[in-house]
Structure 1
Amino acid sequence: MTKTYAALLRGINVSGHKKVPMAELRTLIEGLGHGGVRTYLQSGNAVFTAAGDDEDSLAAGLRTAVEEHFGFAADVLVRDGAYLRAVADACPFPAAGLAPKQLHVTYFSAPVDADRFAAVDRPAYAPEDFGLGDRALYLYAPDGLGRSRLAERLARPGVTRGLVATTRNWNTVTRLVEMTRD
């Protein structure tokens, strides 16, 4: 039985560094034996079908293929469509009433708990705020991610130590949900 997955590549095609043309990425994923490969934007979002159900193995295979083909390492997270839908459905903020640039999801490689974020003085960053999921963090940044002091604080190594983390804006979150519907 095949499942539909999204691959989230971290840190590619940013300011001309770690260039990964999407047509080449699609070919690379197809070369791994996956089907129905589609990409979204230039920021490292790919949807594909695969027979396996081990997200970590799928991510490791793609990470190795990217490094061998493009000559640099790129972190990769793979999540199935059901998980992406669950993350979107669990958003603690009123997504329908916000501009997509105001809401972001950071996907993590492992579950996160509130203790990891206990040192963040949330009132000091108001009106910005965040909420936690099991392997996701929701960020409300009314002035956008680029101007968010809270996003900068949450990205510090002490908070994200030992995790792969990659962030997507709400438009991308909802588009990947649509693209991974089985």
Structure 2
Amino acid sequence: MSTQRQIALLRGVNVGRAKRIAMADLRKVLGDLGFAGVRTLLNSGNAVFDCPAHDAALSAVRIEEALVLKLGVASRVTVLGADQLADVVAENPLQDVAADPAKLMVAVLNNPADRARLEPLVHQPWQPEAFALGRWCAYIWCADGVLASRAAAAMGNLLGDAVTTRNWSTITKLHALAQEA
């Protein structure tokens, strides 16, 4: 049976006091699900793993259920294949605009069909911010920080928890981790 590398992004984990998960516990949960080579990045619910080739949405559902059953934590989980994450990195149209990778946010869509709901945001004047869409995500340049970002707030109002964000530094680190043999 062929395997595929996938990346799990847990929404809202270890942000503030809610939804606290030790990364060792997350690695164990993923290993118990039969995922191999599980590695986590940072302390914010980012994991790279190998699994039998199947739909990323199925992996997300399995992880969400296991988090509740094993750790008592409810978190929306978005899973991308390594090839999808490579697309996210390659397609970024805002790299030249963003002066600080910590303020360049990548909002990964749980459902790629939600991309259509974000189309109107592309055509709005966000200066000094910027908003762009890729195939699997939205890119938001938050010039004055994410908390002050009108573009990020507008996207959040449209999609709520149907999206999870990571800054560009985290995305590129996850991509590098996913590319390791």
Note whether the superposition's TM-score is higher than 0.5. Answer: yes
Of 142, 167, 170, 1:169 maps to 167
Instruction: Quote the offset at 1:115 in angstroms.
Output: 4.9
Letter in 2 for 1:49: D
Secondary structure (helix, strand or coil) at the match of 1:122 reads: coil
The match for 1:104 is 105
Q: Counterparts of 1:108-119 in structure 2 under 5 Å?
A: 108-111=109-112, 112-118=114-120
Secondary structure (helix, strand or coil) at the match of 1:106 reads: strand
Q: Counterparts of 1:155-166 in structure 2 under 5 Å?
A: 155-156=156-157, 159-160=158-159, 164-166=162-164
Q: Count how many residue pairs are aligned between Structure 1 and Structure 2.
A: 178
Instruction: Quote the offset at 1:35 in angstroms.
Output: 0.7
Q: Could you state the TM-score of these two structures normalised by the residue count of structure 1?
A: 0.89
- C-alpha contact (below 8 Å) 2:121/2:151 kept by paired residues: no
Output the aligned Cα RMSD.
Answer: 2.0
Q: 1:92 to 1:33 in 2, by over 3 A?
A: same
The match for 1:147 is 148
Give runs of ≥4 in structure 1 deviating > 3 Å.
Answer: 112-117
Instruction: Quote the offset at 1:42 in angstroms.
Output: 1.2
Instruction: Quote the offset at 1:94 in angstroms.
Output: 2.6
Secondary structure (helix, strand or coil) at the match of 1:3 reads: strand
The match for 2:41 is 40
* Residue 28 (structure 2) pairs with residue 30 (structure 1): no
Q: Could you state the TM-score of these two structures normalised by the residue count of structure 2?
A: 0.90
Spell out, residue by residue over 1:21-56, the C-alpha distance to the aligned partner (whole angstroms, 9 max, x if none).
101000110011111111011111011110122101
Q: Counterparts of 1:1-182 in structure 2 under 5 Å?
A: 1-95=2-96, 98-111=99-112, 112-118=114-120, 122-123=124-125, 125-156=126-157, 159-160=158-159, 164-181=162-179, 182=181
Secondary structure (helix, strand or coil) at the match of 1:58 reads: helix
Secondary structure (helix, strand or coil) at the match of 1:142 reads: coil
What are structure 2's unaligned runs of at least 5 residues? none
